[in-house]
Amino acid sequence: MYLIDSNIWLEYLLNQEKKNECKEFLKVTDDSLIFISDFSLYSIGIITTKGNKREVYEEFLIDTFETVDVRLLSLEINDHRKLINNINSFNFDFDDAYQLTCANKYNLTLVSFDTTLIEAL
């Protein structure tokens, strides 16, 4: 089971350099194995709507949560101590620490282009 980092989704949604790689991964991976954190969802929403790509965000929501059944995960307030420990232990920013904490909490493989984050697992 996979926690997909926001950089994977954004690479695909914004037609960036590694779009085809992301598209292929999402295509061949069973939908029931794909998860997204609430933090990634918010990040994608902020980036796409701020970049005047509201329709991209709306299509993403439909494709991700209505057409297929990607599951949304979040951290509880008591998980934030572990998040802070991950910030301190790995010198991560909040985003990376959130993803790492979420992947560990739910025992998921993190899929990301952030090599520092992947190495921490």
| In the chain, where the domains are located | 2-120
Side-chain-side CA neighbours of 33 within 13 Å: the count stands at: 11
What's the CA angle centered on 68, arms 107 and 104, to 5 degrees?
10
Give this prediction's pTM: 0.91
Task: Out of 3.30.1490.20, 2.40.50.140, 3.40.1190.20, 3.40.50.1010, select the CATH number for domain 2-120.
Answer: 3.40.50.1010
Q: What percentage of residues in the chain have a pLDDT greater than 90?
A: 87
Q: What is the chain's mean pLDDT, rounded? A: 93
Q: Is the alpha carbon torsion for 39, 45, 47, 59 positive or negative? A: positive
> Could you read off the pLDDT of 9-20 as tens digits, one per residue?
999 999 999 999
| 44/47 Cα distance (integer angstroms) | 5
**Strand-pair category, 34-37 with 109-111:** unpaired
